[in-house]
Amino acid sequence: MAITGDRIRLRIILLASIVMIPMAGLLIWRFYVVQVQKHDYYSAEAKKRYVAVRKTRNRRGEIFDTNGYLLVANAPAMDITCAPCNLKDDQQRQRLAFLMKKFFGHDFRRSYQKLAPEVPKRDPKGKVVTDESGNAVMRPNQYVMIARGVALKTAQAFREQATSKTNHLGKALYFTNTSGRTYPKGRMLANVLGYINVENDVEIPQGGLEKQLASQISPQEGRMVYERNRDGSPLLYGFQEIHAGRDGQNVYLTIDEPIQAILEEELDAGFEKWHPVAAYAAIADPRTGNILALAQRPNFDPNDRSTYRIEAIGTRIAMDAFGPGSVAKPFTVGKALDCGVVRPETIIDCEKGVWFYGGKRMTDTHAYGVRTVSGVIQKSSNIGTAKIAVMLGDARVREAFTNFGFGTRTGLPLAGEHPGLIHPLKKWDKLTGTRVAIGYSVQITPLQLLRGYCGLANNGLMPQLRLVDRTEDPETGKVTKIPMKPYVRAFRRPETAKELMKMMVTVTQEGGTAQKAAIPGYHVAGKTGTARKYITGVGYSMHDYYASFIGFVPAENPRLVMVVNFDSPRGATYGGTVAGPVFRRTMERVLKHLNVQPDPALLPPEKSK
């Protein structure tokens, strides 16, 4: 039977339906998967090809002294980058690596390796892409950071040499205007401020406030996401999404720059005269705990990396804990006064300079006999203070120190601050109390001493030390004040501090151990310290000492407390001889700067007229 045309068409339609309907179904399913189920994935993959992300660098917060003088700034600078694939040959790579070493101190070999013309290709997860043979797939090396935040003068000098007829490296180098960290005062306060390193194109704070206050002064990075054309330029009517960055907060310290300058000048003079391993000093306002100046030697210039030395990095006034010696005696005597164990006129037998207790021998530098408690402080008698400690008892001797915060950190934003060490009573033997009382068998930092003496100067009310006064939002101008913390009451009797102050004034008067710390026109209350240096594995040195002086002035109404410490001075060892004059010269100038008038009755006749 003949097959008609209609039947043939019907068969064709049927066959096409059998083939096309499943294909259409598969196609619809594929559209569903692509457009619905995996929409986000494919959209993201597509965006990678036509959407670019540009990051913006915002500025780190700047650091000022309490009066607004700039200590750490963002100065106009340049970022210098390179496209190593544009270097002609190996000789040009060597020349550029040499210039990187010359201008920026980079290691020649590492720089040369970074300048390789090709680098392994990596996938989005950072894994090296390999070919069928397992070899890394290479791509042109188009970006290497040469140096970030380079001073304009240095960048210009580098450009001139790099683009000279001899080197001819200009086609591979790029110079971008930016800002760089600079320290306008050079060495001043360098150990406290710290500095910035750049590693792998990332700014890394190194020590000091740059690191400790990073959460406040570090900026928030901005981003601009945009559609681009083939050459990478933004499309005029394309998609744009801007995430604004934010500059870091500005920080205002309690530091007073003129006082800081005076302290550093006088500490330099003492350092040059006595050639110690290290020297450090600090000045505080005992009413607020504000640190007005803080200095140490050796130090460095954060603008000049050639000045960096291991022994100069770090804030040793907070990091170094030691047995302070006699500067600790006022805390023992103050506790005895506060508990009513002694009075200023109580008689103490100082045993003519030699005393045996607990089977051990204790000596004084001179053969003192019978003295009052005030005389014990004036002459800095070890024996007299140790006998007062025996009268107090171990528990109250330990309280004499813990009440003033010894054994705990000051809380200042200084990296590596040592908490000090005062052993628990269960570790004390019969001699420990007599040694702690005179500043041995304990570890105390100079900053802790400064805090403790602020308490003595402030009628037994110890303030918490402050280094940061306020922060400022550079965009809104909003200022946030850092509040003072409550005082710690270290003495029960208000009269105790005044009684102790009068004793400590005799230390700087005729017959005292710190006459070289006396200031004409003012009563100075203070205490010397000459302590043997403890060497791990050896014991107390017979040659190296810590020479210290700490005091407050004017004694009756203290405005300033200052600690001075020399580690292993040469030529003299006594705190009154080495540290006392630095205190006197510094305080004379600072008192004049603050217009704290002298008492005419205390001036020599020719100066009181």
- What is the set of domains in the chain, with CATH numbers? 55-107+114-122+142-253 (3.90.1310.10), 257-608 (3.40.710.10)
C-alpha to C-alpha distances, 80 to 7, 94, 420, nearest whole angstrom: 80, 17, 46
Q: What SS3 state is found at 173?
A: strand
Q: Average pLDDT for residues 339-360, to the nearest whole number?
A: 95
pLDDT recorded at residue 119: 87
Report residue 149: phi and psi, to 5°.
Answer: 65, 40
Angle between helices 394-402 and 329-338 (to 10 degrees): 110
Q: Average pLDDT for residues 222-247, to the nearest whole number?
A: 60
For tokens 């004017």, the residue is: 554
Condensed to tens digits (0 to 9), the pLDDT of residues 43-57 reads 655 555 555 555 566
Strands (E), 289-343: 291-297
Condensed to tens digits (0 to 9), the pLDDT of residues 534-589 reads 888 788 888 899 999 999 999 999 999 999 999 999 999 999 999 999 999 999 99
What is d(CA 264, CA 528) in angstroms, rounded to the nearest whole number?
Answer: 21
Condensed to tens digits (0 to 9), the pLDDT of residues 111-141 reads 999 999 888 888 777 788 888 888 888 888 8
Is the overall model pTM greater than 0.95, yes or no?
Answer: no
> Is residue 292 packed enough to be buried (19+ CB in 10 Å), middle (13-18) or exposed (0-12)?
buried
Q: Please report, as a single letter, which amino acid is at residue 405.
A: G
Condensed to tens digits (0 to 9), the pLDDT of residues 52-109 reads 555 566 788 999 999 999 999 988 888 899 989 889 899 999 999 999 999 988 899 9
Percent of the chain with pLDDT over 70: 89
Exposed e or buried b for every residue in 29-38, given b needs 16+ CB within 10 A? eeeeeeeeee
Report residue 377: phi and psi, to 5°.
Answer: -70, -45
Lowest mean pLDDT among 5-19, 219-233, 390-404: 219-233
Angle between helices 382-392 and 394-402 (to 10 degrees): 110
Report residue 440: phi and psi, to 5°.
Answer: -115, 170
